[in-house]
C-alpha cells in the first residue's frame, strides 16, 4: 500500500478558518494537479469532519482522466473512503452518491441505526473500539484491492495517520493567503507530537499558481 496525504494550506499552515468552511486556497493549476492525483489513486480518503464541513464529492472531474482509467482496466472513478467512528456521515452526503464506490470505516461505537442508514449506500468496514483503528481499517481496504490511497484531510485524520506510521508521502500546496486563528484547522491537529516527530525528506519544490507545491517523502517508509 502507498499512502499520499495531499492538502492545501495557507501561508500560516491553516486548512480552513475557525468556521471550518471550505476555503479555496488552491488555484486552478493546483486543483488540476489534485484531479490528476485522484485519477492515479485507487481511493480518495477523508475524515468525517471534512464530510460534515465541506460535503465533498471526491470524484475525478476531468472526463479524459476517467477515460484513461477505463483504458487501464480500472473503474471509471477511484473509490471514496470516509473515516467515521460513529457513522455520522449524513445519508444525503455527496460522497454517498452512485458516482463511485464508497467505503465508510466505522468503530464498534457506531450504533446499529447508523449502520443501517449507511449499509445500502456504502461498504462498511469496522475496526477499533471508540475510534477507527487506522492500521486495521487500511489493511481491510488493501484486501479489497485498494493499494494507492490519497488522503485529502482534514487535520485530525492526517495527524492520526502520521501517528500510526501510515503516511508515505506528503504533498502540500502552500497558498498565498493568511487565515490565522488558534481554533482553525492545521495540516496536522490531534494531540500533536512531543517527541519522535516524523522526519520528512524534501523531494520537490515547485512554483504553482501564486503558491508553492512541496512534496515530502516520510523517512523510514
Ligand X SMILES: Nc1nc(O)c(N)c(N[C@@H]2O[C@H](COP(=O)(O)O)[C@@H](O)[C@H]2O)n1
Ligand Y SMILES: NC(=O)C1=CN([C@@H]2O[C@H](COP(=O)(O)OP(=O)(O)OC[C@H]3O[C@@H](n4cnc5c(N)ncnc54)[C@H](O)[C@@H]3O)[C@@H](O)[C@H]2O)C=CC1
Per CB under 6 A, 174 contacts ligand X = no
Q: Which DSSP state fits 96? A: G
Residue list 43-72, contact with ligand Y (CB under 6 A): 46-50, 53-54
Per CB under 6 A, 58 contacts ligand X = yes
| Binds 93: which of ligand Y, ligand X, none (CB < 5-8 Å by kind) | none
Helix axes 63-71, 28-39, angle to 10 degrees: 20
- Our CB check for ligand X shows the closer of 146 and 174 to be 174
Of the candidates 103, 220, 102, the residue with the CA atom closest to the CA atom of residue 169? 220
Cα-to-chain-centroid distance, residue 144: 18
Site string for ligand Y, 118-157 (x = CB under 6 A): -------------xx-x-----------------xxxxxx
State which of residues 3, 4, 5, 23 lies at the interface with ligand X (CB under 6 A): 23
**What is the closest distance, in whole angstroms, from the C-beta atom of residue 61 to ligand X in the complex?**
7
Per CB under 6 A, 152 contacts ligand X = yes
Per CB under 6 A, 50 contacts ligand X = yes
What's the CA gap between 85 and 129, in Å, rounded?
Answer: 9
Per CB under 6 A, 77 contacts ligand X = no
State which of residues 3, 25, 122, 125 lies at the interface with ligand X (CB under 6 A): 25
What's the CA gap between 72 and 9, in Å, rounded?
Answer: 32
- The CA-to-CA distance between both ends of the chain, in Å, stands at 11
Of the candidates 143, 166, 163, 165, the residue with the CA atom closest to the CA atom of residue 45? 166
Amino acid at each position: 500500500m502507498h499512502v499520499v496525504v495531499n492538502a492545501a494550506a495557507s501561508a500560516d499552515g491553516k486548512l480552513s478558518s475557525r468556521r471550518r468552511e471550505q476555503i479555496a486556497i488552491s488555484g486552478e493549476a493546483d486543483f488540476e494537479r489534485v484531479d490528476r492525483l485522484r485519477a492515479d489513486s485507487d481511493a480518495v480518503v477523508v475524515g468525517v469532519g471534512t464530510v460534515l464541513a465541506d460535503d465533498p464529492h471526491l470524484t475525478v472531474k476531468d472526463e479524459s482522466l476517467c477515460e484513461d482509467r477505463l483504458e487501464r482496466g480500472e473503474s471509471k472513478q477511484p473509490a471514496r473512503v470516509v473515516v467515521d467512528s460513529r457513522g455520522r456521515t449524513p445519508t444525503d452526503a455527496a460522497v454517498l452518491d452512485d458516482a463511485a464506490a464508497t467505503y465508510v470505516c466505522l468503530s464498534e461505537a457506531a450504533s446499529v441505526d447508523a449502520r443501517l442508514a449507511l449499509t445500502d449506500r456504502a461498504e462498511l468496514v469496522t475496526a477499533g473500539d471508540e475510534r477507527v483503528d487506522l492500521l486495521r481499517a487500511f489493511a481491510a481496504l488493501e484486501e479489497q484491492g485498494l493499494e494507492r490511497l490519497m488522503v485529502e484531510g482534514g487535520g485530525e485524520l492526517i495527524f492520526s495517520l502520521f501517528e500510526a506510521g501510515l503516511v508515505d508521502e506528503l504533498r502540500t500546496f502552500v497558498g498565498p493567503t493568511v487565515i490565522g486563528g488558534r481554533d482553525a484547522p492545521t495540516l496536522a491537529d490531534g494531540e500533536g507530537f512531543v517527541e519522535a516527530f516524523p522526519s520528512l525528506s524534501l523531494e520537490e519544490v515547485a512554483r504553482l499558481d501564486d503558491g508553492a507545491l512541496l512534496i515530502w517523502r516520510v523517512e523510514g517508509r
